[in-house]
Structures are given as structure tokens and as C-alpha cells.
């Protein structure tokens, strides 16, 4: 695989073993919340790069080849599974994990999802990733994943034009990109207009980028039921989320 250099404390990591634990990645959990009640209905599982030198996360994860990316997802799943082994109040919230669409062509990845998870997952696939993808064989894997009780979500949708694959995939839900909220946050009519689009009709939606009480209020007025963003506390340990009120919407 192509080498990716990450400098931390003068240590250079230039490759990944299949059993790598990615000790330079820490896991964070960003709540996904019912806007009207502040009830937590899910968590997005995020891997953050711990480095004293700047490493652009989008570039880092974009350049990860398939085996390395599967390692990252495996680590995320293992940490969420650990939560279910702890003596904390059991909850059935769904955990959202970002993946590349190309991972759905990997039998190893499909086996991991269907045989190594104690939690209900929602796999987020970036809108631009789907727009540039041409292999329809991913549809078979999506059917298997859905049959295992997981969900497949379109992430970072900004209201742009659609291709055939975006329209064909049976999305469990759509995440609206934060740029859309920030562009129309003071215009509830335009903000809510996206909900009437053909792609979103009848599907669950989450609006991303909520950072202020005003944004939250306007999203509610626009018709959104669920949101995500830095307005709500982000957790490094799910055991510290005991004070959250959970709901089983997802």
C-alpha cells in the first residue's frame, strides 16, 4: 500500500499491519439528538488523530487503502462492543460509522459487519463518494448488510444533482451536510425545502452542523426532527454518557 507518514513524538508511522490497533487514533462519540426533546437517538463514532504536528484528517483517511481502512472500522466496532460488555444501562441506540463505498466490495468487511458487532450500525457513505462510484456490485453487499439489521445512510448530502446509483441505493436515511444548514440557517423556508426532495421523501433525516440554540430552533421550525453538531457534548468514553436520556428511534 502507499505509505502515509504520521509524525507523533518523533515516531514516524509509515505502514499498517493487519493486526494494527492504530494507537495514534482516539475514538470519540458525537451524539445524534432528537431536536424537540434533546433525547439521544444515536452516536457517530469518530476516529481522531492524536499528533503534535498537523495532519489533515480528510487527506489521511482518504489515502488509507482498503485493509487499513477496515482496521480503523474494526477498532471502532471493538470499542463500541466493549460498551455493551460494561455494567451500564443497556440502550439500543444506533452507532454511525463512516466508510468508503468501495469497502462494500470486500468479503472480509461484510463478514466483519455481520459477525463481529454487538451493536446496531448505520454505515455512512459520503455523497461525493457515491457520485464518483461506478461499480453496481455494491448493491449485493448492501442487501446483506440490511438483512443483518444494520442501516446504510447517505452522508453529507448538500441538495446537489443525483446520479443513478444515488437514486438506486435503498438508503435507510440521509444526513444533510452542515454547509446546507450554515447557508440557509436564517431562512427556514429554504432550509426545510430540501425535505420535500424526491431523495428524502419518506426517509429518516439528520441535519448536521448544529452549533447554536438559534440553529437548533430554526431546524425545528424548518421541519427537521433530528440533529447533530457541537451544540451537544461529545464523549470520549460512552460510560460517561450515563446522564444522557436515550430513545430507540433508530
Find residue 204's DSSP bridge partners. Answer: 173
Q: What are 181-235's pLDDT values in tens digits? A: 999 999 999 999 999 999 998 899 999 999 999 999 999 999 999 999 999 988 8
Residue 242 banded pLDDT, cuts 50, 70, 90: low
Q: Is 118 helix (H, G, I), strand (E, B) or coil?
A: coil
Q: What are 13-49's pLDDT values in tens digits? A: 444 443 444 567 788 999 999 999 999 999 999 988 7
Q: Are 210 and 216 in contact (CB under 8 A)?
A: yes
- Domains assigned to the chain: 6-241 (3.20.20.450)
CA–CA gap between residue 46 and residue 208 (Å, rounded): 14
Q: For the packed helices 138-147 and 107-115, what is the interaxial angle rounded to 10 degrees?
A: 10
Give the DSSP letter string of 131-187: HT---TTHHHHHHHHHHTT-EEEEEEE-S----HHHHHS--SEEEEPHHHHHHHTT-
pTM of the model: 0.85
Q: What are 148-173's pLDDT values in tens digits? A: 999 999 999 999 999 999 999 999 99
Q: What are 96-129's pLDDT values in tens digits? A: 999 999 999 999 999 999 999 988 899 999 999 9
Q: Is the pLDDT of residue 236 over 50?
A: yes
Q: Is the pLDDT of residue 141 over 70?
A: yes
Give the DSSP letter string of 54-67: ---HHHHHHH--HH
Q: Span 79-95, mean pLDDT?
A: 73
State the first-to-last Cα distance of the chain, in angstroms, to the nearest integer.
37
Amino acid at each position: 500500500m502507499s505509505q502515509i507518514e504520521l509524525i507523533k513524538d518523533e515516531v514516524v508511522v509509515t505502514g499498517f499491519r493487519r493486526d494494527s490497533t492504530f494507537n495514534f487514533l482516539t475514538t470519540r462519540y458525537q451524539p445524534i439528538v432528537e431536536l424537540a426533546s434533546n433525547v439521544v437517538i444515536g452516536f457517530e463514532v469518530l476516529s481522531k488523530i492524536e499528533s503534535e504536528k498537523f495532519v489533515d484528517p480528510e487527506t489521511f483517511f482518504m489515502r488509507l487503502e482498503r485493509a487499513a481502512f477496515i482496521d480503523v472500522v474494526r477498532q471502532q466496532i471493538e470499542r463500541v462492543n466493549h460498551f455493551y460488555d460494561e455494567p451500564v444501562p443497556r440502550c439500543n441506540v444506533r452507532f454511525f460509522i463512516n466508510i468508503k463505498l468501495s469497502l462494500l466490495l470486500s468479503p472480509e468487511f461484510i463478514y466483519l459487519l455481520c459477525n463481529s458487532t454487538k451493536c446496531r450500525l448505520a454505515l455512512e457513505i459520503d455523497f461525493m463518494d457515491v457520485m464518483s462510484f461506478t461499480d453496481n456490485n455494491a448493491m449485493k453487499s448492501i442487501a446483506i448488510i440490511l438483512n443483518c439489521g444494520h442501516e446504510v445512510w447517505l452522508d453529507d448530502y448538500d441538495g446537489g444533482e443525483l446520479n443513478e446509483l444515488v437514486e438506486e441505493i435503498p438508503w435507510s436515511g440521509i444526513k444533510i451536510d452542515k454547509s446546507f444548514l450554515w447557508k440557509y440557517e436564517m431562512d427556514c423556508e429554504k432550509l426545510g425545502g430540501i425535505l420535500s426532495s424526491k431523495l428524502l421523501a419518506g426517509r429518516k433525516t439528520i441535519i448536521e452542523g448544529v452549533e447554536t440554540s438559534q440553529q437548533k430552533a430554526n431546524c425545528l421550525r424548518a421541519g427537521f426532527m433530528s440533529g447533530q453538531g457541537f451544540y451537544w457534548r461529545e464523549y470520549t468514553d460512552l460510560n460517561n454518557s450515563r446522564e444522557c436520556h436515550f430513545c430507540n428511534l433508530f
